Chain A
Amino acid sequence: MSLGLALTMLTLIVLIPLAALALRAAALGPAGFYEVISDPRVFAALKVSFLTALAAAIANAIFGTLTAWVLVRYNFFGRRIFDALIDLPFAMPTAVAGIALVSVYSPKGLIGQWLAPLGIKIAYTPLGIIVALIAVGFPFVVRTVQPVLEEISRETEEISATLGANRFQTLFFVVLPPLIPAILTGFALALARGVGEYGSVIFIAGNLPFKSEIAPLLIVIKLEEFNYAGATAIAAIMLAVSFLMLFVINGIQSWSQKRFGHG
């Protein structure tokens, strides 16, 4: 019964729409398909989307792990509030995040005005996209790493020190290895979210073709031009690349689970 329900939901919400997408894209024919993806503007947009998402996911893997560490190991004033705030990007409408980021990072904004004289432009550049994607993807790594870190007792670190290991050796040989599967999971989630992110990005990106135009925006543009085939072709490519990335990451994850996650 519950299995049937789950499968029905999965079919209605995920499988049928995906199949329809594939079918639509297939209707374009190989030649038409090639025509869409060989458009340099499309290729550039895909590149921007995937590379910025990758950069943001890497940044989140590093800073998210650090944040989880601080939340688990330090007791400071306002820790619980800080902990609750981590989830804000999940709850906030992405457009709100986008507008907020523009007001801070535009050349006249709170932080942007200090960076502009240094020649650093964040809003309306790929850098701005990365900033937006870091913001929306931030909770993923923190929330996957945090529970695993809580499981690792401080005693293992103390033992490492009694055995003569310095802080650096303790971090790299004792603390980090068991966290790798969790960090990878968070990284994969942040990456997947980043590739498809639309709302928060379009405000800060500036949307300059070939420079800061993301693939989801291009899909919207194609739809507004009633070019449904073109839109589905881009969508199909994004889907294929995302699948590929998830497969690779899953592979690494199960390998590292065997290697590091024992017991």
Chain B
Amino acid sequence: MDIRIDKIRKEFGDFPALHDVSLNIRSGELIALLGPSGSGKTTLLRLVAGLEYPSQGRILFGEEDASWKSVQERNVGFVFQHYALFKHMTVFDNVAFGLRVRGSKDRPPKAEIRRRVEELIDMVQLSGMESRYPGQLSGGQRQRVALARAMAIEPRVLLLDEPFGALDAKVRKDLRKWLREFHDRTGHTTLFVTHDQEEALELADRVVVMSQGKIEQVGSADDIYDRPQSAFVFSFVGDSAKLPVTVANGDVTFRGAPTGLRTSVGNGEKHIFFRPRDIALQDDGPAFEGRILSMRRLAGARIAEIDAGLGEGAERVEIELPLGVPAEQGSVIRFLPHRFAIF
């Protein structure tokens, strides 16, 4: 099912949670909504589900305007971070719930419900646990029950709110891989909310980066990581270093000294962003200069914290130094980023 989010605004009292957000989701896509807390990603998910209604704008499911449809009418599968399982029901009853509460004319016969529920429980690899209660399951198992329960109603779209947030790192990784396979097998249009960039980049077909109620960038993992389109995306996704620069007619200067870098960005006081590993050390010629404040060892390299500008006020950045380079705390190094962006 295609989903179109069309100029959605949402205010809670005076607090604007979303400003004019638009997004097109293609049928069968796996989309991550990534952002810090308070960015509006969960609000957007709840609006699609019908747990909230927009202040302005429309949400379309295919050709149908669903903006004012009740949550019951929308037929969406929803999964919360903390599972929200019905604790007084067995795994089987939890999964069967959505089918059993249907009106008598839409409700499948008992045997059919049993067949479908067992199929779903098998699909989430929990066969044999039908009669257990949620309290007797591990976190990962509970989350899979929640997913099976959401799938039972044959939802038009699957919405996951921080689905792995409450799990420990190992289970998280396994479940992430498993969800990707599950999605590829069932082909459901899926939206999930996360604040974990690794999760978003690894799992999603497209990542929607959000900040302060706005969409900053939509794109594949490569787009987001390699071609960030705003200062926020550059600093939020992946490690980054940031220094203040002045741009004049395409020349980039740092503290009055030319750096030799060229840009198409217009004149003014700007910031240069680069990844800590995207630098080359320079022996002579124009470069950024800085004193090493501290160093720490990473698996295949060293991370040096540098006071760029040699002490005229602290402009601290972290860059990656190859192991072979002679450098120690207090020594001065010169470097230039070979890939960068200026905003």
In contact, A163 and B51 (Cβ under 8 angstroms): no
Contact in complex: A162, B88 (CB < 8 Å): no
B136 close to A162 (CB less than 8 A): no
Q: Are A164 and B101 interface neighbours, CB within 8 A?
A: yes
B84 lies within 8 A of A153 (CB): yes
Main secondary structure, interface of A, reads helix
Q: A161 to B97: give the CA distance in the assembly, Å.
A: 11
Taking the complex as formed, is A177 at the interface, i.e. its CB lies under 8 A from any CB of chain B? yes
Distance of A160 Cα from B97 Cα, bound (Å): 8
The reply to whether B77 and A178 contact each other, CB–CB distance below 8 Å, is no
Residue among B72, B80, B136 making CB contact with A155, cutoff 8 Å:
B80
Q: Residue among A158, A178, A261, A263 with the most chain B CB within 10 A?
A: A263
Instruction: Tally A-B pairs: CB < 8 A.
Output: 75
A178 and B88 contact, Cβ closer than 8 Å, known pairs A160-B97, A164-B102, A263-B134: yes
B82 close to A153 (CB less than 8 A): yes
- On chain A, the residues within 8 Å of B227 by CB distance are none
Shortest Cβ gap from A129 to chain B (Å): 36
**Cross-chain contact of B88 among A163, A165, A262 (Cβ < 8 A):** A262
What residues of B have a CB within 8 angstroms of the CB of A173 in the complex?
Answer: 86, 97, 101
What residue of chain A has the Cβ atom nearest to residue B149's Cβ?
A: A163
Query: In whole Å, how far is B189's beta carbon from the nearest beta carbon of chain A?
Result: 15
For the complex, is B280 an interface residue (Cβ under 8 Å from A)?
no
Cβ-closest chain A residue relative to B74 = A162
Inter-subunit contact B80/A159 (CB<8 Å): yes
Does A210 sit within 8 A of B, measured CB to CB? Answer: no
Q: Which residues of B contact A178 (CB under 8 A)?
A: 87-88
B74: chain A residues at CB < 8 Å are: 162
| In the complex, chain A residues 78-101 whose Cβ is within 8 Å of any chain B Cβ | none
Q: How many residues of B contact A (CB 8 A)?
A: 30
| B134/A162 in contact, CB under 8 A | no
Which of B76, B85, B86 makes the CB contact (< 8 A) with A162? Answer: B76
Q: Check if A165 sits within 8 Å of B135, measured CB to CB.
A: no
Residue of A nearest to B152 (CB): A163
A254 within 8 A of B: no
A162 touches B51 (CB 8 A): yes
What's the nearest-Cβ distance from chain B to residue A197, in Å?
34
Whole-angstrom distance between the alpha carbons of A105 and B152 in the complex?
55
Shortest beta-carbon contacts, A-B, top 6: A263-B135, A163-B98, A155-B84, A262-B133, A263-B87, A165-B101
**28 A-B contacts (beta carbon < 8 Å):** A153-B84, A156-B85, A158-B51, A158-B71, A159-B78, A159-B80, A159-B149, A160-B101, A161-B71, A162-B49, A162-B50, A163-B97, A163-B150, A163-B152, A164-B75, A165-B72, A165-B98, A166-B101, A177-B88, A178-B87, A178-B88, A259-B88, A260-B88, A261-B88, A262-B135, A263-B133, A263-B135, A263-B136
Known pairs A159-B80, A160-B86, A262-B87. 15 more at Cβ < 8 A?
A: A153-B82, A155-B80, A155-B84, A158-B71, A159-B84, A160-B101, A162-B51, A162-B71, A162-B78, A163-B150, A164-B75, A165-B72, A166-B101, A169-B101, A263-B136
Chain B interfacial positions (CB closer than 8 Å to A) = 49-51, 71-72, 74-78, 80, 82, 84-88, 97-98, 101-102, 133-136, 146, 149-150, 152-153
